[in-house]
Amino acid sequence: MGGVWYDFRRRPPMAKENESGQERSEQPTTKRIQESREKGQVCKSVEVSTSLLFLGTLISFYFYFPVVASKLEALVSSYLQNTSAWDGSSEELVTIFQKAIINLGIIVIPLLVVFLAIGVASNFIQIGVIFSGEPIKPKLSKINPIKGFKNKFFSIRSLQTLIKTILILLVIGFASYRAIRRELPVFPPLIDHDTSVIVLTYFRSILHLLWDVLWVFIIIAIADYTFQKWQHTKDLMMSKQEVRDEMKHIEGNPLIKSRIRSIQLHMARRRMMREVPKADVVITNPTHLAVALHYERGKMIAPVVLAKGAGVVAEKIKSIARSSSVPIVENKPLARALFTSVNIGESIPEQWYKSVAEVLAYVYRLKEGVR
């Protein structure tokens, strides 16, 4: 019986694709991260700022609330005592109201300064210092109402934000419910106590509630920052072609670099060949290697390698040496040792002084015999 065969095996999840349809499977490079940072695209969690602000509020409430309470008490008492001095005019009422606003501002300003410092610190801790005008540049895509409505209400990101908000509210509500239920037995016995005791008890209960909620905020902030870090890295993922293009941009095209190296090698070889006629001797392998040495008595500590090469380069060195009447001496061990251990322009090592001295002595005797 014929039919259509279908492969029910699960395929591996595909990575997100870029605008060209290429699979973004590579981690973002340092350059990609820096470029996104310059555009204002950074990893930032609102919950971290909220938790730090909540912590600052709680600390301020714990240490500064008694000061605020005493100042408010003194302020209210002062106005109540001076009510008899009011002459009933609207101008006097405005003056009293202005003084009250100023006094309240003096009380509240320290709290506002603390909240502002916490807001700045929370951003600095997460993203550091960034000066970028990219986010505020006018773009037509930003004022497209259809696209904006779609991104706001019908996107995966908005759905994630909605689910996250609902979960945060549920967790905070549950923590608050447990804290309030724990503190409820404390209130009924307060009926027979003084007002100061009742206020102090309420104050302590509120602090206990805020501390419980704070721990929830901290846990949520850590989880949200981890998620935002993962999401930010995922958004910056690159395709293999993008990584290759970036490496070409940073290091240059491999073909061009190879051509430049070839030209540099050719120029260095030409400079080296021009030094061969100055050599005192060319030590050979005899066919594969050639090393040209030069030594000046009283000016040099040890002989210097002017040129060296293998294969075709060695043949070229020997050809120039013959045409320039530079002696060529065959010494396989010495030629191999100098070729592998000494660079062009360097003096020979001390361990080869004796062997090179014997060769140079032979060359000098040969030149004396010719003369």
pLDDT at position 61 over 80: no
Q: What is the dihedral of CA 216, 221, 226, 231, to 10 degrees?
A: 120
What value does the mean pLDDT take over residues 217-237? 84
- Per-residue pLDDT reduced to its tens digit, 135-144: 556 665 555 5
Q: What is the pLDDT of residues 151-208, one digit of tens each?
A: 555 667 677 778 878 887 888 888 888 878 887 787 777 777 776 677 677 777 877 7
Quick one: pLDDT at residue 148? 57
Bridge-based pairing of strands 328-330 and 281-284 is parallel
Residue-wise pLDDT tens digits, 297-345: 878 888 898 888 888 888 888 888 888 888 888 888 888 888 888 888 8
- Count of C-beta atoms within a 10 Å radius of residue 287: 11
Among 41, 35, 36, smallest CA distance to 228 is for: 41
Q: Which domains does the chain have, with CATH numbers?
A: 30-132+139-245 (no CATH), 275-370 (3.40.1690.10)
> In the prediction, which pLDDT does 11 show?
44
User: For residue range 273-299, what is the model confidence (pLDDT) as tens digits?
Assistant: 888 888 888 999 877 889 999 888 878
Say what the pLDDT of residue 4 is: 40
